[in-house]
Structure 1
Amino acid sequence: MKIAFICDPLDGFKIYKDSTYAMMTEAARRGHAIHVFQHKDMAFEGGKVVANISRVTLTGDPVDWYRREVPQEQDLTAFDAILERTDPPFNMEYIYATYLLELAQQQGARIFNKPEAIRSFNEKLAIAQFPHYITPTLVSSDAARVRAFHDEHRDIILKPLDGMGGAGIFRVMDDALNLGSIIETLTDNGRQTIMVQRYIPEITQGDKRILLIGGQVVPYCLARIPQGTEIRGNLAVGGVGVAHEISARDREMGEALAPVLLKRGLLLVGLDAIGDYMTELNVTSPTCFQEIRQQTGFDVAAMFVNALEKHADAWNS
């Protein structure tokens, strides 16, 4: 297969933990040709979507890990699979990229995850489509509604809808300390919609990343455990990742959602859960492949490339 990865600059990869690198390594091991480009490299011209795309060879060296050829303009339909692996922020440039990729898909390009699905599944708001799996949740920009939610639940989490890596997350407990200031800041005085949820005490046991691949559930998850007085388990803010087998409840959620999400064009999803509750559905560039493999021996990248090979031919049908 000829595979193109839409990803952030290769020089910024931390290959000891990068899931995109794990995908590339497994695909290359099987003899697939690896190519890369970025959103900014795409253009619609002459009635088709093209991009300046480079062939990449992996060296196996942990420092000087790749060789990149001079980019050439290519039609996106020339590839057997195109993998969207660009990290958020999910801003307007990201959305414009999904529109271009959707045009390419209509012309025959095979894009994973499907661009319309990425655009439709806000990683925070998407959980509202499955209300029986979530903790009490409010989505609003109305300060009065947020205050009423706190009055009811007394211990809440507030977060922006466009954050990643734990940025902008606040906990307000029974004393409501700084609630007004936090609401003003996160909502920009009522101009920005936010998410508010009842606090889940099981966060002390970890914010679990459960991977759904090709309609199936990876049997191990990575629990990202907060450290010290921190309420966030995100690895980006110092959480420690501990891999273990998924629980019966995690499996129940995963098996219920995985085939539904696959039908909607999502080959790979990172379902986040705290305790028995789903908290996010990550669809842009889900991670934790390497941490799970390193700690359990389960090869997530191999499962992913298996699914990619299985679904590539029929992806647009």
Structure 2
Amino acid sequence: MKLLFVTDPLSAFKIYKDTTFSMMREAARRGHTLMVCEPKHLMWCHGSRELPGAGRVTASVRDIELTGDPDVWYRAAQASGLGRPQVLSEVDAVLMRKDPPFDSEYFYATHLLEQAERDGARVFNSPRALRDHPEKLAILEFPDFIGPTLVTRDAADIRAFHAEHRDIILKPLDGMGGMGIFRVREDGLNLGSISETLNKFGAQTVMVQRFLPEIVQGDKRILVIGGKPVPYCLARIPQGTEVRGNLAAGGKGVAQKLSARDQEIAEALGPVLAARGLLFAGLDVIGDSLTEINVTSPTGFAEIAQQAGFDAAAVFVDAVEAALARS
């Protein structure tokens, strides 16, 4: 198969823990061909003799091979910034693995990828599904699995929610890696200032959730591939005085088997998400409560493989191959 990864710059990869690298390594092990580009390299043009594509979505790609050397981990046929044109519908699969934030440029990239689908490209995850499942708001569809949650711009709503639940978490809808998350305890200290910071004096919507003390056991990332849960999750455990378990915020990742509740949540959501074109999703669970649904570039393959010996990358490539075989 010819696989095109739409991702962040290769220079930013930390291959000892990067899930996209794990996917690439497994695909290469099976003899598949690897290409890479960034969202900024996507292009569509109609009515030009000078530009490639002839009305089909094209990318400036680099053909890469993995070297097995952790210091110089790939070899590219093209220098950075000097890719070759590749029509997306002429590769076997396009794997959208760009990290958040889900900003305007990400949004535009999903529209270009959806046009590529109209040309005949197979894109995972589905561009439309990426747009339809904002990672924090996607949980609202599944109220049976979430804790007390508020989505609002209104500072009075936030104060009322705090008055009822006494210990709350506030976070921006477009954050990642634990960025912009605040805890306000029973004393309400700085609630007004935090609300103003996050909601921009009513101009921006925020999410507020009751604080879940089970966070001390970890913010669990449950991986769902092809609608089925991976049997191990990655619990991101806060360290020291930190309330956030995110690895980017210093949390410690511990692989562990799914609990009965984890399994229940994953088995309920997995088929629904897969039917919408989300081949790979990451469910965030604290205690017994679903807190987020990650669809842009879920991670955890490397840590689960290293600690539990379970090869989620192989399961993922199996799922891609099976999806292509059905088409």
**2:298 aligns to what?**
286
Q: 2:279 aligns with which of 267, 274, 277?
A: 267
Rounded to whole Å, the distance in 2 between the matches of 1:313 and 1:43 is 28
Note the 1:54-93 alignment, pairs <5 A. Answer: 54-70=62-78, 71-93=83-105
* Cα displacement (A) at 1:11: 1.2
User: Structure 1 residue 150 and structure 2 residue 162: aligned?
Assistant: yes
Note the 1:59-208 alignment, pairs <5 A. Answer: 59-70=67-78, 71-208=83-220
DSSP 3-state at the match of 1:48: coil
Matched to 2:30, the amino acid is R
Rounded to whole Å, the distance in 1 between the matches of 2:100 and 2:72 is 26
Rounded to whole Å, the distance in 2 between the matches of 1:165 and 1:279 is 14
User: Structure 1 residue 12 and structure 2 residue 20: aligned?
Assistant: no
Count of residue pairs brought into register by the alignment: 315
Rounded to whole Å, the distance in 2 between the matches of 1:152 and 1:313 is 52
DSSP 3-state at the match of 1:181: helix
Rounded to whole Å, the distance in 1 between the matches of 2:324 and 2:16 is 28
* Cα displacement (A) at 1:230: 0.5
* Cα displacement (A) at 1:12: 1.2
Rounded to whole Å, the distance in 2 between the matches of 1:277 and 1:236 is 22
User: Structure 1 residue 220 and structure 2 residue 228: aligned?
Assistant: no
Unpaired runs of 5+ residues, structure 2, are 47-54
Rounded to whole Å, the distance in 2 between the matches of 1:145 and 1:120 is 26
Matched to 2:61, the amino acid is I
**1:49 aligns to what?**
57
Rounded to whole Å, the distance in 2 between the matches of 1:145 and 1:314 is 48
* Cα displacement (A) at 1:48: 1.3
Note the 1:225-244 alignment, pairs <5 A. Answer: 225-244=237-256
* Cα displacement (A) at 1:293: 0.5
Residues 35-94 of structure 1: per-residue CA shift (max 9 Å, x gap): 000111111113211111111100000111101112210110011110000111110000
Rounded to whole Å, the distance in 2 between the matches of 1:313 and 1:155 is 50
Identity of aligned residues (%): 63
Rounded to whole Å, the distance in 2 between the matches of 1:197 and 1:13 is 32
DSSP 3-state at the match of 2:112: helix
Residues 98-144 of structure 1: per-residue CA shift (max 9 Å, x gap): 00000001111000000000011110000001011000100000011
* Cα displacement (A) at 1:302: 0.4
Unpaired runs of 5+ residues, structure 1, are none
Rounded to whole Å, the distance in 1 between the matches of 2:88 and 2:214 is 45
Rounded to whole Å, the distance in 1 between the matches of 2:267 and 2:324 is 22
**2:321 aligns to what?**
309
Rounded to whole Å, the distance in 2 between the matches of 1:111 and 1:65 is 25
Provide runs of 4+ in structure 1 moved above 3 Å: none
Rounded to whole Å, the distance in 2 between the matches of 1:106 and 1:37 is 20
Rounded to whole Å, the distance in 2 between the matches of 1:128 and 1:17 is 30
Matched to 1:146, the amino acid is I
Matched to 1:106, the amino acid is R
Residues 232-260 of structure 1: per-residue CA shift (max 9 Å, x gap): 00000110001010100000000111111
Matched to 2:27, the amino acid is A
**2:27 aligns to what?**
27
Residues 248-280 of structure 1: per-residue CA shift (max 9 Å, x gap): 000000011111100001000010000000000
Aligned CA RMSD, in angstroms, stands at 0.7
Residues 167-188 of structure 1: per-residue CA shift (max 9 Å, x gap): 0000011100000000000000
Deviation larger for 43-52 or 119-128: 43-52
* Cα displacement (A) at 1:314: 3.7
TM-score normalised by L of structure 1: 0.98
Rounded to whole Å, the distance in 2 between the matches of 1:124 and 1:215 is 19
